[in-house]
A = this chain, B = another copy of it.
Amino acid sequence: MATRARRSRRRAEALSKERIVEAAVELLDAAGEAGLTFRALTERLATGPGAIYWHVANKDELLAAATDDVIAAALAVEPAKSPGSPQDGIRAVALGLFDAIGEHPWLATQLATQLSCSPWQSVTLRILEGIGRQVGALDVPEDSWFTTTSALMHYILGAAGQNTANTGVLGPDANRAEFLDAAAKAWKELDPGDYPFTRAVADQMREHDDREQFLAGIDLVLTGIITRHLPSA
């Protein structure tokens, strides 16, 4: 199916899976998960549902393709620049994923469902491979590769997913400062008996920087890996 490319259309850019996925990503970026509708898609592509369903099995496959597309693009950036230490390589891949999820907040939910429903496939593999190569360069003994890489992947996707709102949705920084301020204020008014810890870290929360904190977590895991799995140092 879709044995295109050999035929030369004169119609304004004939339909194709790529064009559909591209439009889907734009809709998702513009209005979040709820913004991707077959109605909206047909309107934007100036066609009908039937045409789309000829190229794409269903909405799930479309979402998977969109996710795969964006993640692949995010992971494709780094191989060009890998000058520093292996640890810098890991930081680069991690930041690439962090920023991609920040720019496309819908990825957070999508990755969660995707990894839950069909784990160890397409997207997961891309990410595992991207992180794993850098882990290999760290001189971690080979029998710890999977455990180590999995831990890193879990942290990266977890942190990136949970920071989505702070980075992307709220728009410019002015709002962010206000938002954090309001949250910190609310934290301080929590019941001292139930939430002693949260009250104590309210100020740290207000002043934290997302990327900085993300990298601090990466360094924590890296330190753990080096301390546990590397004979030297």
Contacts and interface: CB of A to CB of B under 8 A. Distances in A.
Interface of A: 105, 108-109, 111-113, 115-120, 125, 128-129, 132-133, 135-136, 142-143, 145-151, 153-159, 161-162, 164-166, 169, 183, 187, 190, 194-198, 200-201, 204-205, 208, 213, 216-217, 219-225, 227-228
Nearest to A142: B200
B154 A159 contact: yes
The prevalent SS among residues of A at the interface is helix
Top 7 nearest A-B pairs (CB, nearest first) are A158-B158, A224-B224, A151-B217, A132-B197, A146-B204, A220-B224, A154-B159
Interface centre among A133, A221, A222 (most CB of B within 10 A): A221
B219 A165 contact: no
Given A198-B129, A223-B227, A154 B143 contact: no
9 contacts: A115-B162, A119-B166, A128-B197, A132-B198, A149-B201, A150-B159, A151-B220, A219-B228, A224-B225
A228 B223 contact: yes
A133 B194 CA distance: 11
A208 B129 contact: no
Contacts of A149: 197, 201
Given A208-B147, A219-B224, A197 B129 contact: yes
Contact of A145 (B109, B155, B169, B204): B204
Contacts of A148: 220
Contacts of A194: 129
Nearest to A217: B151
A148 to B, nearest CB: 7
